[in-house]
Structures are given as C-alpha cells and as structure tokens.
Amino acid sequence: MTVPAEPTAATTLDAEELLRAYELMRLIRGVEKAAHDLFLKGLVKGTTHLAAGHEAVAVGADLALRDNDYVFATYRGHHHAMARGATPTECLAELMSKATGLNKAKGGSMHLTKADRGMLGSYAIVGSHLPIACGAAWSAKLRGTDQVAVAYFGDGATNIGAFHESLNLAAVWKLPVLFVCENNFYMEYTPIRSVTATDNPAADRAGAHQIPAEIVDGNDVEAVYATVAAGVARARIGDGPTVIEAQTYRHYGHSRTDPAKYRPEGELEEWLERDPLDLARKLATERGVSTDDLDAADRRVDSQIDAAIAEASAAPDADPAEALADVWADGGAAWRT
C-alpha cells in the first residue's frame, strides 16, 4: 500500500512554470481557433463546443495533478485533453475524422480521450461522468493508492440529479475526488442564475453534503492551480472530496450553431478584458519572464498549429472497416446476433 504524503500545496508558480502554462494555454487557444476555421471550411465533421476562454481552468488544474491521476471532462473538453498531453495534430485529426485522430475518428469533438494519461473521456450526456469519476476514486481507495479523480463539468450540470447523487456518495465514502465546475454562467443559452436558486450553483450546494467548497477566478491560472492543489492534497491523505467552482466565460457560443445573441451587449467585451492568456502573460512578466521568451513561445505555438493543420489535413480518412475495432472486447459485434 502506498503511504500518502502529508498535504502540502504550493500556492504560487515560478517563472518557468508560468511560461510553460502560458505556452500551453496559447496552444489550446490556437487549436480552438483552428477547429473553428476548419469547421467553417467544412473540414470538421459534426459540431464543436469550443473552450476558448476556459484555458486557465484546464492548465491550472493539471499543474496540480500527477500523470496517473484521473480526469473526466464534458463535450467541451478539447482543453482538458490537451492539458493531459493530447497533441494539436491528433486533436485536429480526430475532429476531421482522420485515421490518425486521437481516437481514430471514433470520438470526434465531444469524446476526446487520452487514457494513457488518465484522461478517461469527454462525455456528451450532461453530468453522466460524475458518478464515473466517483468510481475511479473508489478504485484508487480500494487499491490503496493516493490517486485522485477530477470531474470537470459546466454550471448546467449542477441541476442534474447525477451531480447531487455523486456529491452525496463522495461524501459518505470520503472519496478522493474533486468536482470542478467551469461556471461560464450559461447553461447552453440560458443564464444559470435565472433557473437556479443559489448564486453559486456548485459551491453553494456543497455544504448540504458537508463537502468543503471554494470559488476561484477561473481566468487566473495560478489561482486555479493553488485551489486545485489544496483540494488534491486533502484527497491524497484521505480527507475526501472538494467542490471547486471556477468562474470563467466562453468566448464563442455554446456550439457552432449558436451565434450567442442572447448575451447582453458589452458582456463579452468585459470578459475579454480579463482574457486568461493576457492575465497569464502579465503574471509571467511580473515573475521575471522576459517579453522575448513570451514572444518566442508565441512563435513556437504558431508553428505547431500550422504544422498540425497541415498534418491533420493530409492524413488518411478513417477506414470504415475499423469502425467496430476496440468497441467490443473481441473487436466485433457478431455476438449480438
């Protein structure tokens, strides 16, 4: 059995960490823009739910995790897949239904998965992955490891029964799981506050299950890191779950069919003044990262995105004959008939 370490959580990132965080956030933003542009050209199959504006949540949280921890995301999960190590090329290839895609074109935008880094899927059914995250946490507890599970979800999921059931189960069994709400204030097209009795849909409900909760600026990568690190430290020593509500904002509509005209005039512009990339760049500069180093990071990202678009576009289409491979244990569905 692994003996858990005492809970320790750094609250700041050094210059090198901030530079890496900025570059990864910039890379995620670049992939989201590429996905948007490729969709408009008819090269991305199906819809997309872009996470531009949410980058600090994924990157900040992942800095507090280990490679063998578990992560579960929603259909707006490109940023979480990339934070766990998925490359721009394999993400774009997946969106373009290419054989070289992250999941060989079987998942598409809404189901990006990086199992070898503990990213156990993006889930299209709202709230459906929260009980699964509890299962992964229960597995870690049974095996005596100090692994933790992190379930990311939107504000709309807090009005789903699975949210409340999962919090109750996690509290009763003291599971090493973090529930991280990416509260962008809209459940699809509806302002969350117009249909929810509490001001903070995730954090305000945690107390009913005697789970500690924190509200954090989801556009501040360092604040997210520190908050998640504290929750992870509690979970690793057996102190149970934490609810974290990261307040952020999506720059695009809910999906590619949504022009987001329901947002009040000026609201998007207000949030753009607190763009997580700008905040990370400013903080990195304050910690001693030079403008030259930040500009070099921008150039590296631009080069990676250009290469990823070219490689994904040139990749072969997925082979229909492979459609059922890896879906059933024996590679086929013959047993069903």
**What stretches of 51-152 show up as alpha helix (H) in DSSP?**
55-62, 78-83, 88-95, 129-143
Q: Are 280 and 60 in contact (CB under 8 A)?
A: no
| pLDDT for the residue 323 | 81
Nearest to 163 by CA among 120, 123, 197, 131: 131
| pLDDT for the residue 47 | 87
> Locate tokens 């504290």: which residue?
230
Q: Are 334 and 64 in contact (CB under 8 A)?
A: no
> Locate tokens 């490689």: which residue?
311
Residue 247 vs residues 268, 322, 325: alpha-carbon distances, Å: 14, 41, 40
Q: Is 100 left (phi over 0), alpha (psi -120 to 50) or beta?
A: alpha
Which residues are within 8 A (CB) of 137 and not within 5 positions of it... i.e. 6 or more apart?
70, 148, 149, 170, 175, 176, 177, 235, 241
| pLDDT for the residue 335 | 60
| pLDDT for the residue 210 | 96
Task: Output the pTM of the full model.
Answer: 0.92
Strand runs labelled E in the chain: 70-74, 119-123, 149-154, 177-183, 186-187, 190-191, 213-217, 242-247
Structure tokens at 67: 């490679």
| pLDDT for the residue 9 | 55
Cα 330 to Cα 301: distance, rounded to the nearest angstrom: 41
Domain ranges of the chain: 15-320
Phi, psi of 238 (to 5 degrees): 90, 15
Structure tokens at 160: 């789903």
Residue 161's CB is within 10 A of a number of other CB atoms, namely 9
| pLDDT for the residue 258 | 80
Structure tokens at 153: 């979800």
Q: Are 128 and 156 in contact (CB under 8 A)?
A: no
Domain 15-320 sits in CATH at 3.40.50.970
Residue 57's CB is within 10 A of a number of other CB atoms, namely 31
Residue 282's CB is within 10 A of a number of other CB atoms, namely 11
Q: Which amino acid is at 308?
A: A
Q: In a structure prediction context, what are the per-residue pLDDT tens digits for the chain, which is 337 residues long?
A: 233 334 445 689 999 999 999 999 999 999 999 999 999 999 998 889 999 999 999 999 999 999 999 999 999 999 999 999 999 999 999 999 999 999 999 999 999 999 999 999 999 999 999 999 999 999 999 999 999 999 999 999 999 999 999 999 999 999 999 999 999 999 888 989 999 999 999 999 999 999 999 999 999 999 999 999 999 999 999 999 999 999 999 998 888 778 888 999 999 999 999 999 999 999 999 999 999 999 999 999 999 999 999 999 999 999 988 887 777 766 566 666 5
Q: Are 77 and 294 in contact (CB under 8 A)?
A: no
| pLDDT for the residue 330 | 64
Cα 255 to Cα 284: distance, rounded to the nearest angstrom: 32
Nearest to 58 by CA among 46, 44, 76: 76
DSSP label of 188: T
Per the DSSP assignment, residues forming a β-bridge with 70 are 149
